[in-house]
Amino acid sequence: MKCSIAGAAGSLFAAVVLASAGNGVVLWDIQKRHVAQDPSKLQRRGSTYEEIISNEEARGGYFATCRLGTPSQSLTLQLDTGSSDIWVPDSSAAVCRETETDFGGCSLGTFNPNKSSTFDVVGPGEFDISYVDGSSSKGDYFTDDFEIGGATVQNMTMGLGITTDITYGLVGVGYAMNEAIVGNTQSTSSAYPNLPVNMMDEGLINTIAYSLWLNDLDSSAGNILFGGVDTEKYVGDLTSIKIYPTNKVFTSFLVAMTSLEASSPSGNDNLTSRAFPIPVVLDSGTTLSYLPTDLAKEVWKEVGAIYSQQFQLAVIPCDMANSKGYFTFGFAGPDGPRIKVRMDELVLDLTSGRPPTFKTGIYAGQDACEFGIQNFTSAPYLLGDTFLRSAYVVYDLVNNEIGIAQTDFNSTKSNIIAFASNGAQIPTATIAPNQNEATQRPSMTSPAYDASAGFTNGSATNNPAPGMPTALETSQIFVLGISTTFAMLGSGIFLGL
Ligand SMILES: *[C@@H]1O[C@H](CO)[C@@H](O)[C@H](O)[C@H]1NC(C)=O
Ligand SMILES: *[C@@H]1O[C@H](CO)[C@@H](O)[C@H](O)[C@H]1NC(C)=O
Ligand SMILES: *[C@@H]1O[C@H](CO)[C@@H](O)[C@H](O)[C@H]1NC(C)=O
Ligand SMILES: *[C@@H]1O[C@H](CO)[C@@H](O)[C@H](O)[C@H]1NC(C)=O
Ligand SMILES: *[C@@H]1O[C@H](CO)[C@@H](O)[C@H](O)[C@H]1NC(C)=O
Ligand SMILES: *[C@@H]1O[C@H](CO)[C@@H](O)[C@H](O)[C@H]1NC(C)=O
């Protein structure tokens, strides 16, 4: 069983911020958390989850503690590479005043602007953000001091969530062109310097870049290093690949996924999809990974995962976390970097309590878990935390490149190298060769599923017979969906340019 969840909302572990500001880098520790939410506030309108079957919902993500205002107020915010605004819940927001329920109350902290002498409204009513999962936050844009990893960024523009259905704020570190204000005004000139840009402008870092180390599913903490690379947090080579623009504008961390190989003691298969090369966004604000349905189905067949129409979700026996199989994600063409993701990173708890069990079918009686690779209908597809934990990823927003390497789980060593200057290449990275081949369709032969037997060998699980009816026992009270999809909605605004 993976990913045990801290008890009730409010009793979450305290976040520790390790700071090492100076020398052109700022290190910010992030903590994996699950935050209980009132499901009536969180009906998913996206196509991924239509049905909320639980009495509460826990959101999974990586959170960091920061301080805002003068005197400073402490808040814990979710780190998100899929959006670009920092926003905080206002103390007067209705969702934060619902302390009578088990869910409300904004236990990770709220911001009271009336108590900050440096608070200044700069865009009354102009803050309005919607995320792919249907949640949203609205209010004013304001400026105030923002303290992160021991460094203070003055005059930081942020959103004040006055009307919102999310009980905690976010730190969006994506491209400034993906700020909500740019989409809402349909004007690139409304972009303001967001956190990574402001950190460079204020001299805390030398270029607009950071590295994200999420670490193991079983580990509670990772970190984000602004302005540098830590060569002790990965194994093998750090390779840089192109980020692709959307209609000539860089708005999201869109890269070319060009292969997916399944491997186990019984064999290897290159999986196929009509969508190769697949445009995928590296999004730390998304818990699971979402691939085209044809490819996801091949993955599910390899591992024996089953799509539950009831939950609109691919599920798998929890025991499969012990499988010896793994997947290798290839990027930027045949000579590009490849990242291995083991099965124990892909099997997640569905609930915070006792897991639900399969009621019928070949898995009857076994505990059911959420599978880390789900399907989605249209591009761009998302590689969320179930992929990102296995990769050390450097985001270079000046050269529009991603540096990627196999993560070194639980590394306790550190060797930080700062970017030398604004626009410097990613330290120690080599550029992936022949990236032009990334745009070519690979030749495709349907996989023989040679790896399939080895995925299930050694676990109590066997592959289900095709068409075998399956249902989950839902009589218990449980939580479904420790997942969020905090990619900002509407990055297609440049379609007209
Ligand atoms: C701050 O003061 C304004 C005006 O008095 C008030 O409307 C608002 O609710 C206050 N906000 C909080 C969080 O107390
Ligand atoms: C604060 O930031 C805003 C927007 O980025 C800018 O227009 C303004 O000049 C800045 N003010 C100060 C005092 O730096
Ligand atoms: C990393 O540490 C966690 C927590 O101590 C442990 O459960 C996990 O097995 C470790 N992972 C690896 C790959 O060693
Ligand atoms: C299953 O595992 C056993 C023991 O590890 C091994 O002897 C056997 O060959 C494996 N079978 C397959 C199909 O991989
Ligand atoms: C899958 O593709 C890679 C890269 O083209 C190749 O090296 C490997 O041998 C292939 N594996 C199988 C099982 O065909
Ligand atoms: C995912 O696949 C299932 C099973 O084929 C299908 O019913 C569902 O509509 C797909 N979901 C999306 C978002 O494409």
Gap between the Cα atoms of 176 and 331, Å rounded: 25
At 164, is the secondary structure helix, strand, or coil? strand
Please report the pLDDT score of residue 315 as a whole number. Answer: 92
CA separation for the pair 65, 32 (Å, rounded)? 12
**Residue 263 corresponds to which amino acid?**
S
How far does Cα 25 stand from its chain's mean position? Answer: 23
Q: Is residue 263 one of the residues assigned to a domain?
A: yes
pLDDT for position 19: 34
Nearest atom, ligand 4, residue 265 CA: 14
Quick check: CB of 157 below 6 Å from ligand 2?
Answer: yes
Q: Are residues 177 and 271 in the same domain?
A: no
Would residue 495 count as lying in a domain? no
Residue 56 confidence (pLDDT) above 60: no
CB of 376 closer than 6 angstroms to any ligand 6 atom: yes
Ligand nearest the Cα of residue 156 is 2
416 found inside a domain:
yes
**Per-residue pLDDT at 298 exceeds 50:** yes
Burial 2-40 (b: 16+ CB within 10 A, else e): bbebbeebeebeebebeebbeebbbbbbbbbbbbbbbbe
pTM listed for this prediction: 0.86
Identify the residue with better confidence: 436 or 426.
426
> What is the CATH number for 132?
2.40.70.10
Beta pairing, strands 86-89 & 338-342:
unpaired
The answer on 69 and 31 residing in a single domain is yes
Which atom of ligand 4 is least distant from the CA of 453? 13
> Residue 208's pLDDT band (boundaries 50, 70, 90)?
very high
Same domain for 74 and 176: yes
Residues 207 and 238 in one domain: no
Report, as an integer, the average pLDDT of 267-282: 94
State the total domains in the chain.
2
Residue 343 lies in a domain: yes
User: Is residue 98 domain-resident?
Assistant: yes
Give 78 Cα–ligand 5 centroid separation in angstroms.
38
Convert the pLDDT of each residue in 436-488 to its tens digit: 888 777 777 899 999 999 998 765 555 444 444 455 544 332 333 344 555 55
Q: What would the pLDDT profile of 178-191 be if each residue is shown by its tens digit?
A: 999 998 999 999 99
* 487: in domain: no
What gap in Å lies between CA 491 and CA 380, rounded to an integer? 10
423 and 391 part of one domain:
yes
> 403 to each of 243, 437, 493, how far by Cα in Å?
10, 18, 27
Select the more confidently predicted residue: 446 or 33. Answer: 446
| Whether residue 38 has pLDDT greater than 90 | no
Instruction: State the distance from the centre of ligand 5 to the C-alpha of 431, rounded, in angstroms.
Output: 22
Mean pLDDT over residues 421-440, rounded?
93
Active-site residue, 450 included: no
User: 276: domain range?
Assistant: 230-473
- Whether the pLDDT of residue 389 is over 80: the answer is yes
Task: Assess whether 253 and 375 both reside in one domain.
Answer: yes
The CA-based diameter of the chain, rounded to the nearest angstrom, is 66
pLDDT in tens, 221-240: 789 999 999 999 999 999 99
- The two structure tokens encoding residue 469: 């009816």
Residue 10 confidence (pLDDT):
23
Q: Residue 352: which pLDDT band, with cuts at 50, 70 and 90?
A: low
Q: Is the pLDDT of residue 112 over 90?
A: yes
Q: Is the pLDDT of residue 167 over 70?
A: yes
Does 462 reside within a domain?
Answer: yes
Pick from 10-14, 54-58, 227-231, 308-312: least confident: 10-14
Whole-number average pLDDT of the chain: 82
Task: Please tell me the predicted confidence (pLDDT) of residue 300.
Answer: 97
User: Which residue puts its alpha carbon closest to atom 8 of ligand 4?
Assistant: 457
Residues 147 and 236 in one domain: no
Write down the pLDDT at residue 443.
73
Q: 146 in ligand 3 pocket by Cβ < 6 Å?
A: no
Look at residues 291, 281, 290, 245 and name the one whose alpha carbon lies nearest to residue 495: 245
116 within a domain of the structure (yes/no): yes
244 and 124, same domain (yes or no): no
283 is catalytic: yes
User: What whole-number distance in Å separates Cα of residue 154 and Cα of residue 274?
Assistant: 48
Kindly state the average pLDDT of the residues 308-337: 93
Lowest mean pLDDT among 267-276, 357-366, 465-474: 465-474
Q: Which of 48, 288, 307 maximizes ligand 6 atoms within 8 Å of its Cβ, making it the mutation to test the pocket? A: 307
Burial of residue 446 (CB within 10 Å: 0-12, 13-18, 19+) is: exposed
Same domain? 152 vs 244: no
Cβ atoms of residues 397 and 175 within 8 Å: yes
Alpha helices in 187-268 (DSSP H): 195-201
pLDDT at 115 over 80: yes
Instruction: Establish how many alpha carbons lie within 13 A of residue 483's alpha carbon, considering only the half-sphere containing its beta carbon.
Output: 33
pLDDT value of position 35: 63
Lowest model confidence (mean pLDDT) among 25-39, 213-227, 257-271, 326-340? 25-39
pLDDT mean over 146-155 = 90
Q: Do 154 and 283 fall within a single domain? A: no
